[in-house]
A and B are shown apart, each in its own frame.
Chain A
Amino acid sequence: MTNLNAVDPAAVAQDAHLESADVVIAKSTIIFRRFMRNKTAVAGLAVFLGLTIFSFVGGFFTPWDKETIDPFNIGMPPSGVHWLGTSQAGIDLYAMTVEGTRISILIGLIVGLVSVLVAAVYGCTMAYFGRKVDKVMLFVLEALIMMPALLVVAVATSGGGDGLKKNLPSWLLLIIVLLVFSWMGTARLIRSMSMSLMQRDFVKAAQYMGVPPRRIVWRHLVPNIGSLLVLDITRGVTGAILAEVAFSFIGIGIKVPDVSLGVLIGGATSQVQTFPWMFWVPLTVMFLLTGSLAMMNDGLRDAFDPSSSSVGRAKKNSAEKKSK
């Protein structure tokens, strides 16, 4: 009846134009390109991946493990037998560092990922329902923020948590306690972001279609704050690693015989003069770990930021075109 139903020649032309001219670059490609353009961030990613691999396979390169005592080498500096030296008790430092790094990374990743996920669902739910639900959930959140996390960690990992301690390794216990206290800030941020998303028409459209709230939160809100979530995961991982180190340092986090970077650093502080390698090696690893995450975070922020002025490659391209 009209030319609207027919295959639109202009649309076809446009189609060809869209595809041939690679006008449309997938968002993920743009983000990847921007990230790769930031050399610091790429270096950070490489260091982080290297440390992760080291923590998992590093143990195979040495005959020692974290429990075997070498009675002939007690408190020895780095040598051919013990690459990084041994502790006062004669345990190989290399083996302990590998083990500690793994525990630290594990704690960081699990706490970072899960707390952001919890925060996302909690924050989005608050924003979606608003009113009373929002008020009650916000009260719970504020209460958790005001709770002294330090004391709870101390109680849970030492005296009060005896029953728990029997069933769980101390690092798992620490993960649980850290999780409970690490998601609130992110949840508040996500709540305010989702509140502005709620004003967007596509959420309204879904509501007017009668889509149930649970589906709207999961399908519309959570994916749309994805870039913030990615940033928050790296931040959360750093935070969790540092928290673990801090707690273990003051002796309320990971307990011996479990090893972590914090335990190693904490145990060695009194012997910096006598056994310097016991202090500096785990500290360096920790710096590499948190430093690489911070470097990555910087690049990720650049990549996800829509107002980023990162168009380096295009400039090069146009210069090339001109020279041709």
Chain B
Amino acid sequence: MSTFLEPADPAPTAAERLHIAGLHSPSDAVLSVRDLNVSFNSENGAVNAVRGVNFDLMPGKTLGIVGESGSGKSVTSLAILGLLPATAEISGSVRLKGKELLGLSDKAMCAYRGNDIAMVFQDPLSSLTPVYTVGTQIIEALTIHNPGMSKSAKETRAVELLAMVGIPSPRNRLKAFPHEFSGGMRQRVMIAIAIANNPRVLIADEPTTALDVTIQAQVLEVLHKAQEETGAAVVMITHDLGVVAGIADDIMVMYAGKPVETGSVDDIYYDPRMPYTMGLLGAVPRVDVVEKSSLVPIDGIPPNLLHTPTGCSFAPRCPLVTDACLDGEPSLSPVPGTGYHQAACIKSGSLGGDVDVHEIFSAPPVPVSRFDLIPRGERSTVLELKDVRKHFPLTKGALLKRRIGTVKAVDGLSFDIREGECFSIVGESGSGKTTTLLEIMEFHKDQDGEVIIGGISNKQAADAKTKSAMRREMQMVFQDPTGALDPRFTVYEVLAEPLQNAGFSRPDIKKRIMELMNLVGLQPDHVNRFPNQFSGGQRQRVGIARALAVNPKLVVLDEPVSALDVSVQAGVINLLDKLRAELGLSYLMVAHDLSVVRHISDRVAVMYLGKIVEIGEVDRVFDNPRHPYTRALLSAIPVPDPQFERTRERIILQGDLPSPLDAPKGCNFATRCPVFAALPAAKQEKCLTLEPPLEAVRASAAAQALAAGPVPPSDQQFACFFPDGELDEDMLVVHKTAEPHAP
């Protein structure tokens, strides 16, 4: 191309020569990837999944690869390990300690896999073989790469590994089968297997996505420890900018199979130069700040990788797009004024740190509901639960079923939702959130407790007419937008179903459907499409439109955005916010992502083992959590702010939710409580024998003195005897390595 402009460099650099000679200096990268390209065949033609990935991984460092689904993150990792199907076409170079890995036969790769380079997969439930004990599987990894190792040495090493990843009584657990472990524990075992042979490179592909937040914090901690012990370099693949903020040294942002921005973690988070990165950062709600601005939505969907883009691949979604952007795909080039930071944007020079993301992406203004001005007590109630219980008997024995215990999935739940407000329930899986939703959606008159929907109690719901009147007041939006839409229905049929059922006439149905499409921001001519012709975010919009079809007062949202990508998630959250304001809807939301809850909710309830342990206004509860469990949950949420992440104090809860059989008699949380662990024995007795009631937060004496009149009773309630108790030091973790860039 421009050979005559810049002097051609016929002689490769020193490092290149060493690479070619198969040698490498000790300071060199442990894993170096050059110009990696992967393409697959599909029914539509060849898909270029990865297009030119380059990176060098230094020993002991962590590289975070971030991007939305389909950006080629996982394919990159699988290509490095040589795990892609034979039909994939791979080109480029992957050198591990200077040795080329691409092109090696499967057999030759086996010498490296699990030895020098190891992987932790996303789903711990399916990554372990159910028919072998955990010990056998760890020892298997050791045997393959150390044939000479004695049996007892292997066993000692396995025990050592299990202890390292924090599994209690490792010697006994060696003989346990995978099903005897919880998800978090299995992921620990996976990490133990991965580090068994002291790998130089550890690739973790979304290692915590399938886990609860509290367990996620534990596993990230284990991963961090494993890295410290083995000195391995880690490639961390994730879509969650929060997860990598605390542990990565360098970040690579991928889009449409190409890295679009690389740099140190501080560069990326505090000084992003590529509009896509800026959008991603603006799209993530924060759990730690009161936020009264809308999120940044990145409209559109990633480009089709069937065709080689002629311009910048992000141009169709970029708000700053100009004609110059469409002219050739920009390559990664250094950001002016910085050393290491690279961005693939022709405007990277002008996009400094002081540019406001909300302005660039024209984030919508915060919608204001007509109910916002009316005090909560004066609004009418749309849903009320009074002492709802759902107990499942636990039986044993094949022929004669003996009742050996009770699972209290929901145990005496009471709350109410007023018009125009969003009420969220949060908690780990197994805390009874979903059962609560089911109890509400599948109301019937024989329930234990009372469910009042729009003024009608479930006790009156005997005939079909009352039932359908109640159903009309309340509709549901599901977690998985793909599963919630019948694949054989067009959008028109999907939206017509509730309307037909409500007895609308044909012309009315048509009119209403057009209204709905407009309301949720879909094209009216999309009604003839099938769900598989939409992107995830659009499908969720169809799901929301279906829920709104019969004009309900209350919409039940079951993890409405957890299946969506960050950028799409922001658009759906903004839509929900807008609909609530414009239509005066109330929401009942179940979510595990506390940042989303904080962004969208007015009130929140924290559930633990079927009981509400803390309830109140979201800002009060999140800023001033009283129950130790709420505190632990909040501290487990990763925040997309590297500085904050490095210095923050975390409460790492020990273990998992206790089995319902050995649930404590007194406070449910006592077995894992960081306050309880630090209490003197006399006070512990109280926690173990008495059940703490839900009590309102009393204003402190000082606050009472400050306020002239009587202090109004607070909305925040919690269930703990010793909210101000000291926390147990074993459960507190602070990363002392505040300076990650030490050489």
Contacts and interface: CB of A to CB of B under 8 A. Distances in A.
Contact of A208 (B39, B471, B532): B471
A17 B472 CA distance: 38
Contacts of B45: 314, 317-318, 321
B467 interface: yes
Given A224-B486, A318-B46, A205 B471 contact: no
B741 interface: no
Interface stretch (A7-15, A45-53, A251-259, A270-278): A7-15
Q: Interface size bucket, B side?
A: 35 or more
A311 B41 CA distance: 7
Nearest to B366: A2
A224 B520 CA distance: 27
Contacts of B364: 1-4
Interface in A197-222: 200-202, 204-206, 208-211, 219-220
A315 B89 CA distance: 11
A201 B300 contact: no
B441 interface: yes
Nearest to B543: A205
Interface in A1-57: 1-5, 7-15, 17-18, 21-25, 27, 30, 33
Contact of A9 (B41, B299, B480): B299
B484 A202 contact: yes
A148 B44 CA distance: 51
A209 B533 contact: no
Interface residues of A, number: 47
A14 B578 contact: no
A1 B501 contact: no
A206 B467 CA distance: 14
A236 B306 CA distance: 41
A24 B301 CA distance: 14
B487 interface: yes
A18 B534 CA distance: 9
Interface in B521-565: 521-523, 526, 532-533, 535, 538, 543, 546, 550
Interface string B501-519: 1000000000000000011
Given A15-B523, A317-B45, A4 B574 contact: yes
A2 B296 CA distance: 12
B367 interface: yes
A169 interface: no
Contacts of B575: 4
Nearest to A311: B41
A211 B550 CA distance: 13
Interface in B349-383: 362, 364-365, 367
B304 interface: yes
Contact of B578 (A4, A13, A21, A209): A4
Contact of A10 (B44, B299, B304, B487): B299
A27 B533 CA distance: 11
B187 interface: no
A225 to B, nearest CB: 11
A211 B501 contact: yes
Given A13-B300, A24-B533, A314-B45, A210 B578 contact: no
Contacts of B441: 208
A34 to B, nearest CB: 9
Contacts of B471: 208-210
B468 A210 contact: yes
A109 B468 CA distance: 43
B578 A202 contact: no
Contacts of B546: 205
B478 interface: yes
B578 to A, nearest CB: 5
A5 B522 contact: no
Given A22-B44, A201-B480, 12 more contacts: A10-B316, A11-B523, A14-B316, A17-B303, A23-B306, A24-B532, A27-B532, A30-B43, A208-B471, A210-B472, A219-B486, A318-B46
